Amino acid sequence: MKLCLKNCASVVTNSDTGPEFLYGQDIILEDDRIKQMGATGTLPYEGPILDCTGLCAIPGLVQTHIHLCQTPFRNTADDVELLDWLSAYIWPGESRLSSDELLLGARIGIAELLRGGTTTILDMATIRHTDAVFQALEESGLRAISGKCLMDDQSICPPELVEDTASALKETEELIERWHGKNGLLEVAITPRFAVSCTTDLMRECARLSEKYNLIIHTHASENKKEIELVRNKTGYGNLEYLEKIGFMGPRTCIAHCVHMEEDDWKRLKVSGSHVLHCPSSNLKLASGIAPVPRMLEEGISVSLGADGPPCNNLLDGFMEMRLAALIQKPFHGPTSMNARTVFRMATLDGARALGKDAGRIEPGRLADIALLDTGQVHNVPSAHLYSTLVYATRASDVRHVVVGGSLRLQDGRLTYGNRKAWLKEFRIAFEARP
Amino acid sequence: MKLCLKNCASVVTNSDTGPEFLYGQDIILEDDRIKQMGATGTLPYEGPILDCTGLCAIPGLVQTHIHLCQTPFRNTADDVELLDWLSAYIWPGESRLSSDELLLGARIGIAELLRGGTTTILDMATIRHTDAVFQALEESGLRAISGKCLMDDQSICPPELVEDTASALKETEELIERWHGKNGLLEVAITPRFAVSCTTDLMRECARLSEKYNLIIHTHASENKKEIELVRNKTGYGNLEYLEKIGFMGPRTCIAHCVHMEEDDWKRLKVSGSHVLHCPSSNLKLASGIAPVPRMLEEGISVSLGADGPPCNNLLDGFMEMRLAALIQKPFHGPTSMNARTVFRMATLDGARALGKDAGRIEPGRLADIALLDTGQVHNVPSAHLYSTLVYATRASDVRHVVVGGSLRLQDGRLTYGNRKAWLKEFRIAFEARP
């Protein structure tokens, strides 16, 4: 498998050793890697060509916290209190979805992600029908880590969305067997929803499974004050303190939100090498708060970005999350905080690192996950300052082509697989009954 | 002049007397007004037709604070301190622009506005070459109020961007003569930049001119704390207090920002009937703060939305401003604050009211300022809940057609006037020297 991205007007490399920006480049891909780069027309090459004249090549966006399974609930649960949001909309919604509906929802969500230049996600499915999500991921060619959501605390979880501990874990191991490593792009994560919905037995087993199979753990913590109170009532500890006590933290642990940090939490995250998955739109929309990301970065904590789920965003747009990650800190930390370069790397390289992927850089030898953008439109010119252009003035709709693992998954804004129109029609019939 | 918007899938009317949503409608326009609406195919009509099958019709967005003249500086002054921003980038930039460059910048900015569904703006030009901005507005058919920026305080303004009081006012009166009321879409506003840059003599004359010609006054106030301190040092009063003392406040007065309110300012705005122009992206990006809009609304103060200038946003995207206006308040005022309906009306009807325009509603007899959107895409379905869809999941790039005053200015995403490609090329050559 070969492809030449011909005549890229500019390239943002994220390189630490070479130039951060290159101009007038051909990028030659072979199998799933970047093979060679050089000034347009100077490299020997025979094979398929994608004309990238006028476009800017960037490492594909990495979104480390996504709920594809919630796509059917977009635009249906807005401007409501958080507990209502979860208990009146999201949990009942998830519990009602059939396998076919999950497949359909995941297809729509993935299409949005690829059209917006996202090439890798860490996803949290619901407790049932996780195969359907993996099926949609497989056909799309997105690089993705997903996992069956685990909820086993009978005293707290709604009866329609709870399992016994053993069968929840058994299903996770079956998913690992079926999907982990499939097509070179898919991985399974261990996915306990959050400390509130899980018994300590389950949480400990999650840590054990993660170690046994060397898998990412994906969970939520310290998203909002009521949740933290629930964890303290239940365990006697702060939220991250509890996770630390039970041996849950570590370099494979990916924790969404961390909006409300307690004093020792900085050290807990840093020392354990756990990763914070920052979701600015979701934290605003659900009134959770503003995560203290500038201090996290100062402390050397790993922070990457995600859109969370369609019902709490309501987009899955990595460009929107970059823009917000930069903007929301400035009133509190000044206009120079969270500069465009920092945020751009957070949305690409830092996400790839959190997920253990050799992506996030456009350099020979790296994974060929690349988005090609039109930065020459009336809303983003002048675009010579690339970081500013990408973070503050570029939109998902500016993405023209997307390559994942060397394979073209979006060309001229159109998916290269499946039948988007038919899926959209089916999805709207299924989920768009007039309110 | 006639046009039928045929078979709109949905219509958001903003009506106070009829239904807020209609489905399957034809909207017949005659001259610059909406003449008739009815179920598709039920109205007698002969004339040109625009097929709107599958699209959602909304009142065009009204942005009440824009600086078209700053378009050339987009993406060039980011992540810097506010005073640097103004003194090192914006003022020197404005002072250097030729008439031709202003024309070009305004053309690009206006193209972005129309492509994003904005049909009316209140704009602030720079101190020179205001004719060029009006020329670009005239050819575009955008409904617009603009004005020459006034700066006459020799002790504070940079020498390259200051005028004597009398000639500044004389030029304003000449602009009124040339442009006010032209083509039924253009108006001139009296436009003192802010209390810091203007003498009290000038500010008083502005109020007088506004009364004499019945014109809008457009200014900035209380954007950030240093500015307020400067005003207090200069005048002995708070910012809005000073404006009140000198007889500057009133129902024709439009004040951008008002981020930092003092205790009596609520009453000052409410009693005078002055209008607050809220710019959420700009207030975040320049680290000004978060304007207390929920309380403004509670107090009955008029609030509308604007993107401000390209270098402090960096877009001119009314959908982005809606989304942020809703999101940024929620961490502080809860998830039900600034609900989607409130914000949508703020971006349409409330803006139209602030500017004295009979627009912002899709009802027979109103001005025919309408945007048609595709709300059936992978990133915004399911879209049955229209306010949520429009505020949280719709992007400028979803706009397909735009009508201003009954005239089609954007069709299938393309401007119906001018030569966008040539302008873009010219603009990039002029302003995109590699950094």
Last residue of a domain, one of B326, B354, B382: B354
Could you report the per-residue pLDDT of A393-422, keeping only the tens digit for each? Answer: 999 999 999 999 999 999 999 999 999 999
Q: Do A247 and A214 fall into the same domain?
A: yes
Q: pLDDT value at position B81?
A: 80
Q: pLDDT value at position B86?
A: 86
Q: CB–CB of A172/A127 below 8 Å?
A: no
Our count of domains for chain B comes to 2
Residues 6+ apart with CB under 8 A from B299: B266, B269, B270
Residues 6+ apart with CB under 8 A from A41: A7, A26
Q: Do B103 and B125 fall into the same domain?
A: yes
Structure pTM? 0.98
Give the closest residue to A55 by CA, choosing from A371, A379, A415, A378.
A371
Q: Do A347 and A387 fall into the same domain?
A: no
User: In the numeric block, which tokens belong to residue B372?
Assistant: 């048609």
Residue B434 reports pLDDT greater than 70: no
CB-count burial class (<10 Å; 0-12, 13-18, 19+) for A41: exposed
Q: CB–CB of B152/B172 below 8 Å?
A: no
Sign of the Cα torsion A27, A30, A34, A37 reads negative
A341/B79 Cα distance (integer angstroms)? 10
Last residue of a domain, one of A354, A384, A402: A354
Q: How many CB pairs under 8 A join A and B?
A: 215
Q: Which residue of A has its CA nearest to B110?
A: A378
Q: Is residue B216 part of a domain?
A: yes
Q: CB–CB of B4/B45 below 8 Å?
A: yes
Strands A302-305 and A275-278: what pairing?
parallel
Q: CB–CB of A399/A413 below 8 Å?
A: yes
Q: How far apart, in Å, are the Cα atoms of A390 and each of A54, A204, A246, A348, B285?
A: 15, 41, 41, 12, 15
Q: Do B222 and B325 fall into the same domain?
A: yes
Q: Is residue A360 part of a domain?
A: no
Q: Is residue B426 part of a domain?
A: no
Could you report the per-residue pLDDT of A207-226, keeping only the tens digit for each? Answer: 999 999 999 999 999 999 99
C-alpha dihedral, B153 to B156 to B162 to B168, nearest 10°: -20
In B, residues 319-358, which contact A (CB 8 Å cutoff)? 324, 326-328, 330-331, 333-336, 338-340
Using the Cβ of B314 and the Cβ atoms of chain A, whether some distance falls under 8 Å is answered with: yes
Residues of A in contact with B104 (CB under 8 A): none
Give the closest residue to B192 by CA, choosing from B178, B183, B177, B202.
B202
Q: Do A171 and A314 fall into the same domain?
A: yes
Using the Cβ of B254 and the Cβ atoms of chain A, whether some distance falls under 8 Å is answered with: no
What letter does residue B181 receive in the DSSP assignment?
Answer: T
Give the closest residue to A305 by CA, choosing from A256, A340, A356, A258.
A256
Give me the tens of pLDDT residue by residue for chain A, a chain 435 residues long. Answer: 999 999 999 999 999 999 999 999 999 999 999 999 999 999 999 999 999 999 999 999 999 999 999 999 999 999 988 778 888 999 999 999 999 999 999 999 999 999 999 999 999 999 999 999 999 999 999 999 999 999 999 998 999 999 999 999 999 999 999 999 999 999 999 999 999 999 999 999 999 999 999 999 999 999 999 999 999 999 999 999 999 999 999 999 999 999 999 999 999 999 999 999 999 999 999 999 999 999 999 999 999 999 999 999 999 999 999 999 999 999 999 999 999 999 999 999 999 999 999 999 999 999 999 999 999 999 999 999 999 999 999 999 999 999 999 999 999 999 999 999 999 999 999 999 754
Q: How far apart, in Å, are the Cα atoms of B16 and each of B21, B357, B362?
A: 11, 16, 11
A17/A168 Cα distance (integer angstroms)? 45
Q: pLDDT value at position B435?
A: 46
List the single residue in B23, B112, B326 with the smallest CB-CB distance to A379.
B112
B178/A322 Cα distance (integer angstroms)? 44
State the CATH number of the domain containing residue B405. 2.30.40.10
Q: pLDDT value at position A435?
A: 46
List the single residue in B78, B381, B434 with the smallest CB-CB distance to A392.
B78
> Would you tell me how many other CB atoms lie within 10 Å of the CB of residue B31?
12
Rounded CA Rg of chain B: 21
* Angstroms from B225 CA to nearest CA on chain A: 12
Q: What is the mean pLDDT of chain B?
A: 97
Contact B288 A331 (CB under 8 A): yes
B428/A7 Cα distance (integer angstroms)? 19
State the CATH number of the domain containing residue A133. 3.20.20.140
A288/B330 Cα distance (integer angstroms)? 8
> Would you tell me how many other CB atoms lie within 10 Å of the CB of residue A182?
13
Q: Which helix (H) or strand (E) holds B3?
A: strand B2-12
Q: Which residue of A has its CA nearest to B433?
A: A384
Q: List strand residue ranges (DSSP E) for A293-423, in order.
A: 302-305, 370-373, 399-404, 407-411, 414-415
Could you report the per-residue pLDDT of B114-134, keeping only the tens digit for each? Answer: 999 999 999 999 999 999 999
Q: Is residue A194 part of a domain?
A: yes
List the single residue in B74, B381, B431 with the smallest CB-CB distance to A432.
B381
Contact B379 A420 (CB under 8 A): no
Q: How far apart, in Å, are the Cα atoms of B134 and each of A121, A289, A422, B213?
A: 47, 43, 46, 18
Q: Is residue B245 part of a domain?
A: yes
List the single residue in A72, A79, A338 with the smallest CB-CB distance to B335.
A79
Residue B13 reports pLDDT greater than 90: yes
B249/B243 Cα distance (integer angstroms)? 6
Q: Do B22 and B153 fall into the same domain?
A: no
- Greatest alpha-carbon span in chain B: 66
List the single residue in B23, B378, B392 with the smallest CB-CB distance to A112.
B378
Name residue A188's amino acid. Answer: V
In B, residues 77-106, which contact A (CB 8 Å cutoff)? 78-82, 85
What letter does residue B90 receive in the DSSP assignment?
Answer: I
Q: Is residue A433 part of a domain?
A: no
What interhelical angle do A99-115 and A420-431 show, nearest 10?
A: 130
Using the Cβ of B21 and the Cβ atoms of chain A, whether some distance falls under 8 Å is answered with: no
Using the Cβ of A307 and the Cβ atoms of chain B, whether some distance falls under 8 Å is answered with: no
Last residue of a domain, one of B354, B385, B406: B354
Q: Do B408 and B320 fall into the same domain?
A: no
Q: Do A24 and A87 fall into the same domain?
A: no
For this complex, say whether ipTM is above 0.90.
yes
Q: Is residue A131 part of a domain?
A: yes
Q: Do B252 and B349 fall into the same domain?
A: yes
Q: CB–CB of A36/A43 below 8 Å?
A: yes
Q: Is residue A420 part of a domain?
A: no
> Would you tell me how many other CB atoms lie within 10 Å of the CB of residue A19?
9
Q: Do B95 and B187 fall into the same domain?
A: yes
Contact B115 A379 (CB under 8 A): yes
Q: CB–CB of B52/B29 below 8 Å?
A: no
B202/B209 Cα distance (integer angstroms)? 10
User: In the numeric block, which tokens belong to residue B54?
Assistant: 């599958």
Q: Do A335 and A409 fall into the same domain?
A: no
Q: Do A203 and A73 fall into the same domain?
A: yes
Q: CB–CB of B375/B53 below 8 Å?
A: no
Which residues form the domain of A28?
2-59+366-415
Phi, psi (degrees; rounded to nearest 5) at B71 = -55, -40
